[in-house]
Amino acid sequence: MSRYLGFDLGAESGRALLGSLSGGKLVVEEVHRFPNTPVRVLGTLYWDTLRLWHEIQHGIGVAARERKLGLDGIGIDTWGVDYGLLGADGMLIDNPRHYRDSRTNGMMEKLFETVPRDQVFGYTGIQFMQLNTLYQLYAQKLAGSPALGAARRLLNMPDLFNYWLTGVAKSEATIASTTQFFDPREMNWSMEMLKRLDLPGEILGEIVPPATLLGKMLEPPYTPVYATAGHDTAAAVAAVPAEGGDNWCYVSSGTWSLMGLELDAPVINAESLALNFTNEVGAAGKIRLLKNIAGLWLLQECRRAWMEEGAESSYEQLAGMAAAAKPFTATIDPDAFLEPGEMPRKIADHCRQTGQEPPQTHGEFARTILESLALRYRYVMESLETLGKRKIEAIHIVGGGSRNALLNQFVADCTGHRVVAGPSEATAIGNILVQAMGAGELANLDEVRAVVRSSFPLTTVEPHPSGDWDRAYQRYRKLVGLG
């Protein structure tokens, strides 16, 4: 039996999961969980990076020292786009900012004055979001950041933690592909674009594919460390339990919803630019053609606001309230809400501005969010069929959001497609099994997915389409300007 430790760091929390692999079956066990709480200082939003590093060390200690387990590998995945800068001495010289920090407000438009929008997409094939690494870096340049001037290496978050574990400073391809200065056709940095923007391409290091052995830990227990699929979505997609064929799409459902196809080559053309899709790297050389959707973050933010008012409900309770609430009271664009804080008020204001009666109860707010996510998925699915030139028959929903049975049913009913839900721990599972690929224990994605299917329960949700969903979809299309 082999044992791998996978660290999965999300926007709300992080955890260490132990994966035991034997006879084509994987058993995962959570050995450590910890909050990931951003910190605001003088109006700037940061990640508590050293606290996260402490928790990673603690998780290794629980597995290796307290439980005295021999580990065959360690891998770390995180959210995309954010980064740390290292100085000439190899030390961190600026605490990593949170992607929701306001420094990137208006930064895309400023950048497009030098390199127009269509040319940025031509270089990178990446969806335009102001939180992308490119705009964070450009904001630093325009602000005359001393840290950027002193930087000798840029490392995205999983690469930074891998560096602290091993002393090896390399960039893993799946996380590099989220920056919007990576060319997925060449599998390399887009140096020409960076030069045009007068951004320091020399601070970018060697790119390695997922499943690369970086080396052993610098300190006991000297476990091998793999550059697994460092972007959490790439790890989750590796664990999608699809079996052959290409008639499926995926939704990695959590704080964000990432919906897409797995392809052999990127789709970078006028149509994918117009639809604002992204081409990111997956495991085993695959391309993830996908759309970033706001996801369950809206519900998380509402829940947080209600808790501050003294009304605490679990996500399960909120789902129950939503199921009992009146359907189709309002429709929102989930992607219209980027910055944290006062989410119920923002949703109510959005409804008023679009001529709708705002939700009144917590259940109505929750139902509005879940229905609107399903409507958004339907539009993205239709766009994927166009871009990928294929007919989708099944939607695989993985990640924590796959436990939301009401949302799964809404997606099936809204799209008219079968939904396969699970595994809920897809990100950590993919992280662990990509490590196993690096160790030579699994040969390819087909073997990875066979392990997933044989190891974890899946739920199939059949659709019950209705005219109500079709009418709601037409309202949604008008709301977002699609006619």
Query: Residue 107 is inside which H or E element, if any?
Result: helix 107-112
Place of tokens 């899709």: 277
User: Residues 4, 73: contact at Cβ < 8 Å?
Assistant: yes
Q: Catalytic residue among 94, 101, 232, 413, which?
A: 232
Q: Name residue, tokens 């200690």.
A: 61
CA distance 328 to 476: 11
Angle at CA of residue 130, ends 285 and 366, nearest 5°: 90
**Coil vs helix vs strand at 407:** helix
Terminal C-alpha separation, the chain = 56
Q: What's the rounded Cα separation, in Å, for the pair 95 and 85?
A: 8
DSSP β-bridge partners for residue 182: 189
468 is catalytic: no
DSSP state of 315: H
**441 HSE (CA, 13 A, CB side):** 22
If DSSP states are collapsed to H, E and C, what string results for 258-275? EEEEEECCCCCCHHHHHC
Q: DSSP letters of 109-165?
A: HHHHTTS-HHHHHHHH-----TTSHHHHHHHHHHTT-HHHHH-SEEEEHHHHHHHHH
- 76: DSSP letter: E
The conformational region for residue 135 under phi > 0 = left, psi -120 to 50 = alpha, else beta, is alpha
The residues that are catalytic are: 232
